[in-house]
Amino acid sequence: MSKKPPKLSLSDLSNFRDALATESAAREAERIAAAKRAAQAKRDANVFRDSIGEIAPLASKGSTNRVEHPRFPPEPVARQTEEDEAAVLHESLSDEFDPEALLDTDDRLSYRRPGISHDAVLKLQRGDWVVQAQIDLHGMRRDEAREALSAFLHDAVKRGLRCIRVIHGKGLGSVNREPVLKDKVRGWLAQKNEVLAWAQAQGRDGGGGALVVLLQASQARGARAAD
């Protein structure tokens, strides 16, 4: 036969009630503490959101709505300019060149390269050619004038110009009133293959202080007879 469970005394029932009450009180205290922690966490979250302001959600992977920061590529190297400057330096003019030694000049201060007709020089002397550009070397020091003329001729040939004017002055302000720059310019021009002929400018265009210079056509780099 099975044994009957023992009967609980009044003291046991009282203790059992006390235990249940204690456990219930503990659960209630834990519930209240959890509620307080949740409330505090919510307040902290609100403070954080208020401090950072509005935010935009990140785009999903593969989205094209990305922020593109401006790019600043390095400055391009002006290679053509460097090549031009190197060409000008390579073609530097010599002060020691004497046009009288190798070239055929006349008493009217005109010059024509071999193969260039007398008519081309006459046209320069009469002012038949239209001057397309000019450089004024008057008042420059010799080295400064030499470099300026070299760069000017290089640019004129590159642009395909045919007739230019070079103003060198009459030398009235030089030491002993000698036209040093005038003679140097004639020698510098004679060293340039691009120069086909020159002649002293007419009075209205500078007279004895300037030369009108005929350059070869851009499509022909060698000296050839002018029309």
**Greater pLDDT, 143 or 58:** 143
Q: What local confidence, expressed as pLDDT, does residue 172 receive?
A: 65
pLDDT score of 205: 85
Lowest mean pLDDT among 65-69, 95-99, 141-145, 153-157: 95-99
199 vs 139: CA distance, rounded Å:
21
Q: Which residue has the higher pLDDT, 98 or 172?
A: 172
Strand partners, 211: 166, 200
Q: Does residue 64 carry a pLDDT above 60?
A: no
Output helix, strand, coil percentages for the chain, rounded to the nearest 5: 45, 10, 45
**pLDDT level of residue 6 (50, 70, 90 thresholds):** low
pLDDT exceeds 80 at position 54: no
Average the pLDDT over 80-105 and give the result: 52
**pLDDT value at 74 more than 70:** no
Backbone torsions φ then ψ of 76, nearest 5 degrees: -65, 145
Full-model pTM:
0.53
pLDDT over threshold 50, residue 9: yes
Q: What is the mean pLDDT of residues 149-155?
A: 93
Taking the CA of residue 76 as centre, how many other CA atoms within 13 Å lie in the half-sphere pointing to its CB? Answer: 4
Higher pLDDT, 111 or 48: 111
The Cα 84–Cα 191 span in angstroms is: 18
Burial 154-173 (b: 16+ CB within 10 A, else e): bebbeeebbbbbbbbbbbee
Residue 92 pLDDT greater than 80, yes or no? no
Residue 124 has pLDDT above 50, yes or no: yes
- Token representation of residue 165: 């004017």
> Concatenated DSSP letters for 52-66?
H----PPPPTT-S--
Residue 96: is its pLDDT beyond 60?
A: no
pLDDT surpassing 90 at residue 204: no
Backbone phi, then psi, for 188, in 5-degree steps? -65, -45
Q: Which residue ranges form the domains of the chain, and what is each CATH number?
A: 104-215 (3.30.1370.110)
pLDDT value of position 46: 73
Structure tokens, 157: 């040939």
What is the pLDDT averaged over residues 121-138?
Answer: 93
What's the pLDDT tens digit per position in 10-51? 676 677 677 777 887 888 888 888 888 888 887 777 776 667
